[in-house]
Structure 1
Amino acid sequence: MKLLDPYSLVLMASMMCGVMSAVLFLVRRSFPADIQGLGHWCAALAVQVLATACYSFKGTLPDGFVLPVANLLFVLGNGLCAIGLQAFYGRAQGWRMLGGALGFALVGMVYWLFVVPSYTARVTWMALPLTVINGTQLWLVLRHGRRHFATYFLAMLVGVNALLVAVRGALALVMPAPTVDLTQPGALQGAYLVITAMVPILLSVGFIMVATKRLQFTLERRSASDPLTGALNRRGFDAAYTRELARLRRRPRTLALLAIDLDHFKAVNDAHGHGVGDKVLVRTASLVGAALRESDYLARFGGEEFIVLLPDTDIELAATVAQRIQAALRTACDSGIPVCTASIGIAAQTDPRQRLDDLLEEADQALYRAKANGRDRIELAEQEKRRASA
Structure 2
Amino acid sequence: MFFLLVQPDYRMRLVVFASTLALLLMAHVHLLLRKGRGFAARFTAGVLTVQVLVLLVRAATTFWLDQPDTLRFGSSPMQAVYVATYSFSVLLVSVGVLLMASERLRTEFEHLANHDSLTGALARRVVMHDSAQEFVRWQRYQHGFALLMVDVDHFKRINDQHGYAAGDRVLARVVDALGHALRTVDRLGRYGGEEFLVLLPEVQAGEARMVAERMRLAVARLAATEQVPACTVSIGVACVQRGDASLDAVLARADAALYEAKRLGRNRVELAASA
**Which interval holds the TM-score relative to the shorter structure?**
0.7 to 0.9
Q: Which runs of 5+ in 2 are unaligned?
A: none
Amino acid at match of 1:223: A
Question: 1:348-386 CA distances to partner (integer Å, 9 max, x unpaired)?
Answer: 2377x8533222222111111111222111111223xx8
266, 272, 284: which one aligns with 2:162: 272
Q: Which runs of 5+ in 1 are unaligned?
A: 1-109
Other-structure match for 1:133:
24
Map 1:262-341 onto structure 2 (within 5 A). Answer: 262-336=152-226, 337-341=228-232
| Greater percentage in helix | 1
Distance, in Å, in 2 between the alignment partners of 1:324 and 1:194 is: 63
Amino acid at match of 1:305: E
Q: Which has the higher contact order (CA 8 A, sep 6+)?
A: 2
Contact persistence 2:216–2:233 (CA under 8 A): yes
Map 1:342-361 onto structure 2 (within 5 A). Answer: 342-349=233-240, 354-361=245-252
Identity %: 38
SS at match of 1:175: helix
Amino acid at match of 2:66: A
SS at match of 2:202: coil
Contact persistence 1:298–1:308 (CA under 8 A): yes
Q: Label 1:242 to 1:211 Cα distance change in 2 as closer, same or farther (>3 A).
A: farther
Other-structure match for 1:260:
150
Map 1:218-229 onto structure 2 (within 5 A). Answer: 218-229=108-119
Map 1:74-93 onto structure 2 (within 5 A). Answer: none
Distance, in Å, in 2 between the alignment partners of 1:193 and 1:232 is: 51
- Confirm whether residue 370 of structure 1 aligns to residue 261 of structure 2: yes
What is the TM-score with the length of structure 2 in the denominator?
0.87
Other-structure match for 1:26:
none
SS at match of 1:382: coil
SS at match of 2:98: helix
185, 194, 199: which one aligns with 2:84: 194
Question: 1:210-243 CA distances to partner (integer Å, 9 max, x unpaired)?
Answer: 2112211211211222121111111222343355
Q: CA RMSD in A?
A: 2.7
Aligned residues: 273
Question: 1:302-359 CA distances to partner (integer Å, 9 max, x unpaired)?
Answer: 21101111223333332222122111111112412221111111122377x8533222
Q: Label 1:252 to 1:259 Cα distance change in 2 as closer, same or farther (>3 A).
A: same
What is the TM-score with the length of structure 1 in the denominator?
0.63
SS at match of 2:203: coil
Question: 1:12-64 CA distances to partner (integer Å, 9 max, x unpaired)?
Answer: xxxxxxxxxxxxxxxxxxxxxxxxxxxxxxxxxxxxxxxxxxxxxxxxxxxxx
Q: Label 1:188 to 1:230 Cα distance change in 2 as closer, same or farther (>3 A).
A: same
Map 1:9-28 onto structure 2 (within 5 A). Answer: none
Distance, in Å, in 2 between the alignment partners of 1:194 and 1:245 is: 59
Amino acid at match of 1:225: H
